[in-house]
Amino acid sequence: MNSLARKLATFDLVAGVATFLGVFLLWPLAASLRDAVVDRNGPTTAYFGAVLASPVYLEGFVHALAIGVASTTLALLGGLSLALAFDRWTFPGKRLMTALVPMPLVVPPFVGAIGIKQLLGQAGALNALLVRLHLLAAAHPIDWLRTSRFWAVVVLITFHLYPIAFLSLSASLQSLNPELDEAAENLGCSLPRRLLRITLPLVAPSLIASGTLIFLSASTELGVPLMCDYTRVTSVQILSGLSTANTDPAVYVLVTAVIAFALVAFAVSRVLLIFLPPRTLTRRTLHRPSRPLAGWRGAMCAASVTSVVLVTTIPNAGVVLVSLSGDWYRTVLPAGLTTVHFQHALGNAMVLPSIANSLRYVSLATAIDLLLGLTIAHLVTRAKVPGIGVLDALAMLPLVLPGLVMAFGYLAMSRPGQPLSLLGRAGDPTGLIVVAYATRRLPFVVRAATTGLSSMDVSLEEAARNLGATALGTWRRVTIPLVAAHLFAGAVLAFSLSMLDVSDSLVLAQRPGTFPITKAIYELSSLLGEGPWLAAALGVWAMVFLAASIAVARAVAQGSSGRAFH
C-alpha cells in the first residue's frame, strides 16, 4: 500500500469513528439540550425559569448534590483508609480481605437494596435483634428506611463505590518511592504528619480522579433511590418525566442541568489537577515490603479492616440470605433455608427472556466496542494524524457522563419524526440499547487496546510488512495475537458491566418482552408475594456471573496487561 493509499485509509478510519461518536455520543446530548432551550417560537429560557421556580425540582437538585457529596466523602475516607493499611502493613487475614474488598462492585447497588430492606424494615432483622435484646418493644417496631431514607441511599451507594477509591489509591500508593517516607521517619516525623505532608499530596491526583467518578455516579444514581422510595431526587424525577416528555419540557431542563452539573464537576477536577504540585521523585524504584504487625497491633488492625470490609458486604449478604430464605419475618436470621426461589426465578415468564435479551444486547455491544476500540487505539498509537487526541478524549467522555443522561438522549433522538426513529421502531429498543451499551463501555476497550499496542514492539509489524504481508494480514497474524490478552480483558469488563447496567436498561426497555436482566430484577422486586425473593435469586445469579467475569479478566490481564486498568 503506497503512502497516498495509506493516508486515505487512515482518513476513512478517522471519519468512521468520528461519525459514530458524533451520532451516538454528541447527538444524544444535543437532542436533550435542544428541547430544553427551544420551543415552537425559537430559543427560550422560560423552561429553565419554570424549573427553577419549582420547589420540588430545587429540592431534587439539593438532594442529588447532598447524596453526591456525602457518598463521595465516605467512599474516599473508607477507600483511603483501607488502601493505606494494605500498603503499609501485613496483618492476619490480609489476603482474604484483599479479595473481599471488590465484592460490592459485583452487584448493582439497587439489588443490594433488596437485602437492606429485609434487614432494616419494620419486620426486619435489626428490629428483631433489638427486640431480643429487650431494647425495643415488639409492638412498636422502627421503620429504619423510612426514618433515615436519605442515609440509607447514601450508605448503599457508598458501599458500592468505595472499592473504586480503594483500587485507584492502592495503585497510586504502590508507585510511590518509599525513600521519601523513610527519610521523613528517620528525621522524627510522626506517621499522621507523614501521611498529611507527604503521602496525601503525592496521591492527590488519584484521590481527585476517583472522587470525581464517585461523585458523578452517586449524584446521578437511579436504582437505589427508586428501591428506597426516595423520589425527591433529580434522577428519579427524570425517570418519572419520561411519560410526559412530549408535553412537558421540564424533564429536558433537568437533563440539561445534570449535563452541566457533570461538566462543571469534571472541569473543577481538571483545574485541581493542574494546580497540584509536580510529582517529583515519586516513582517507586525499590520494593518496600509491608511491615508485619504482630500481637495486639496486628489484632487491632485486622479487626478494624475486617469490620469495614464485612460491613460493606452486608448488602451482598442480605441479597443472598433473602434468596435462600424460606421464612424470614421478625427474626434475626431466616427461619428456614431453601433453593426453591432460584428454581422459580428461572421458571418465571419474565426471567429467561430477560437473560436472552441481555445476552443479545451485550454481545452485539461488545462486538462493536472491540471493533471501535481497536480502531481508535490504532489511530492513537500508530497513525500520525493532527488532532487525534481529540478523538481519544471523545472516546473517554462516557466515563464522566451520567448514564441516565445518555439514555434520555437516546430516547430524544429516536422519537417519531427524528432521523434515527428506526432504532426504536415498533417498540423494539434493541438498536437503542445496543448503541447505549456500546458507547458507555467503549472507554474500557479503548484503554485496554491502547495499552496493548503501546507495549508492543512496532518492529514486529514492520518486519511482517517488509516480508510482503498486507496491512490486513499483518494485523491478523501479528498484531491481534500479541494484544489478544488486553482485548479479551477489556471485552470481558465491557461485557460484564453492560450485563448489569441500570440506567440504560430502566429507561430504554419499557415493554416486558424487551427487558434486560436488571430491568427484570427491578420489576420482580415490586411484585407482591414472591416477587422480592425471585428478584433476590436473580440478583445472586447476576452476582455470580459478574464475579466470575471479573476473575477471568484479572486472570488474563496479568503482568503488563494489568496496566490497562490502573
Q: What is the pLDDT of residue 245?
A: 61
104-113, 144-153, 217-226: which has the highest mean pLDDT? 217-226
Percent of the chain with pLDDT over 70: 92
Q: What is the pLDDT of residue 4?
A: 66
Q: Any residues with CB less than 8 A from the CB of 8 and at least 6 apart, and which?
A: none
Cell digits of residue 402:
451520567
Q: What is the pLDDT of residue 555?
A: 67
Instruction: Kindly report the pTM of this predicted structure.
Output: 0.82
pLDDT at 261 over 70: yes
Per-residue pLDDT averaged across 529-545, rounded?
83
Q: What is the pLDDT of residue 496?
A: 80
Q: What is the pLDDT of residue 425?
A: 64
Per-residue pLDDT averaged across 80-87, rounded?
89
Which has the higher per-residue pLDDT, 285 or 477?
477
Q: Which range has the worst mean pLDDT, 87-96, 374-383, 433-442, 540-549?
A: 540-549
Per-residue pLDDT averaged across 89-104, rounded?
84
Q: What is the pLDDT of residue 561?
A: 39
Q: Identify the band that residue 464 occupies on the pLDDT scale cut at 50, 70 and 90.
A: confident
Q: What is the pLDDT of residue 233?
A: 92
Which has the higher per-residue pLDDT, 175 or 237?
237
Residue 216 CA to residue 403 CA, distance in Å, equals 10
Q: Identify the band that residue 424 occupies on the pLDDT scale cut at 50, 70 and 90.
A: low
pLDDT at 437 over 80: yes
Other C-beta atoms lying within 10 Å of the C-beta of residue 398: 20
Of the candidates 515, 503, 525, the residue with the CA atom closest to the CA atom of residue 228: 525
Q: Identify the band that residue 277 occupies on the pLDDT scale cut at 50, 70 and 90.
A: low
pLDDT digits (tens, 9 = 90+) for 24-40: 888 888 877 877 777 77
Per-residue pLDDT averaged across 372-393, rounded?
82
pLDDT at 68 over 90: yes
Q: What is the mean pLDDT of the chain?
A: 81
Q: Identify the band that residue 560 occupies on the pLDDT scale cut at 50, 70 and 90.
A: very low
> Which residue is it, cell 508507585?
175
What b/e string do you get for 64-83 counting C-beta neighbours within 10 Å, with b at 16 or more?
Answer: beebbebbbebbbebbbbbb
pLDDT at 565 over 60: no
Chain centroid offset of residue 43 CA: 35
Q: Identify the band that residue 64 occupies on the pLDDT scale cut at 50, 70 and 90.
A: very high
Q: What is the pLDDT of residue 361?
A: 93
Per-residue pLDDT averaged across 110-115, rounded?
82
Task: Judge whether 149 and 228 are in contact, CB under 8 Å.
Answer: yes
Which has the higher per-residue pLDDT, 402 or 322?
322
Per-residue pLDDT averaged across 8-23, rounded?
84
Per-residue pLDDT averaged across 4-13, rounded?
75
In order of 21, 257, 394, the CA distances from 26 in angstroms are: 7, 16, 9
Q: What is the largest CA-CA distance in the chain?
A: 85
pLDDT digits (tens, 9 = 90+) for 142-179: 878 777 789 889 998 999 889 888 888 887 787 777 77
pLDDT at 369 over 90: yes
